[in-house]
Amino acid sequence: MNYSVLMSVYDKENAEYLRESMNSVWNQKMPTNDLVLVCDGPLNRKLEAVISEMENCHKDHLQVIRLEQNMGLGYALNEGIQYCRNSLIARMDSDDICCRNRFEKQIKLFEDNSCLDICSGTILEFEGDIKNLVGKRVLPQSHEEIIIFSKKRNPMNHPAVMFKKEAVIRAGGYNERFHLFEDYYLWIRMLMNGSISQNIAEPLVYMRTSREQLLRRGGVIYTKEMMRLHWWIRKSKWSSWLDFFSGAVPHMMVCLLPNRVRRVVYYILHSPRKRREGEDDLFY
């Protein structure tokens, strides 16, 4: 089964990270025949050099789409979806690294269940070196559990998502109505629209993180946007008042904690397990 990979890159991103990310796609056990890279505005010379290198090596399987100016992630992804040649589309961030069997595992789910519209899986967060794991984000697996979880928290790990193009378009695509939460907003609309979901327990993606990125998951602006989305979910009657007060309110309190305290809380909640023998097979 063929699938597309959808990525977006903009000027301030790291060229070496982009190279590692794209190579982790090309080195899959089940490689793609269509990687769509959306350049969200003009890029610096180092990023352009990496893209040129990739075009030379993978010209038959790489589409580079260029936007004249930086439009934001949601707009860039919507544009890229239109160019994807396959019904199945896998999301990939330009600084993350795929486990070598990521797409093989996800494709199998879609082959086994023709009704499936979207799936994600566990992500492992690392700082600096890929072996320096600092976090692990595990989500509910079954469709029923995902629906319940979605009423309180984001039910999909965006960097590890694979979805059917038609299901995303039917739900209206990415929308920046709730800035910083475009993905959560999309998953809710897809579930409301009857999309069938599933998550994989095993790790699919190594997600690059840093102290600065963690700090951006809090603060007044982030909290306001998060609460606006949860209020919309409540008004849409997707969630109950109990969901709102037991999900959104505690999340708000964590977001407003001092940076140092929030960092400790986050690492306690998302602490990765110790590496087991043979786990290096996950690396690209």
Cβ atoms of 52 and 120 closer than 8 Å: no
Number of domains comprising the chain: 1
Cβ atoms of 18 and 94 closer than 8 Å: yes
String of b and e for 229-267 (b: at least 16 CB within 10 Å)? bbebbbeeebbeeebbeebbeebbeebeeeeeebbeebe
**Residue 253 vs residue 278, higher pLDDT:** 253
Q: How confident is the model at residue 135 (pLDDT cuts 50, 70, 90)?
A: confident
Question: What is the tens place of the pLDDT at every residue in 183-226?
Answer: 999 999 999 999 999 999 999 999 998 766 665 666 788 899 99
Q: Tell me whether residue 32 is in a domain.
A: yes
Residues spanned by the domain of 42: 1-95
Question: What is the tens place of the pLDDT at every residue in 159-190?
Answer: 999 999 999 999 999 998 998 899 999 999 99
What the block records as the tokens of 26 is: 């090309």
Q: Tell me whether residue 171 is in a domain.
A: no
Name the pairing type of β-strands 88-91 and 62-67: unpaired
pLDDT reported for residue 214: 61
Which three-class secondary structure state does DSSP give residue 144? helix
Q: Tell me whether residue 87 is in a domain.
A: yes
What is the CATH number for 35?
3.90.550.10
The two most distant CA atoms of the chain are separated, in Å, by: 55
pLDDT reported for residue 280: 41
Q: Tell me whether residue 143 is in a domain.
A: no
Q: Tell me whether residue 187 is in a domain.
A: no
Q: Tell me whether residue 144 is in a domain.
A: no
Q: Tell me whether residue 123 is in a domain.
A: no
Q: Tell me whether residue 269 is in a domain.
A: no
What would you report as the CA-atom Rg of the chain, rounded to the nearest whole angstrom? 18
d(CA 12, CA 114): 39
Which three-class secondary structure state does DSSP give residue 35? strand
Name the pairing type of β-strands 34-40 and 62-67: parallel
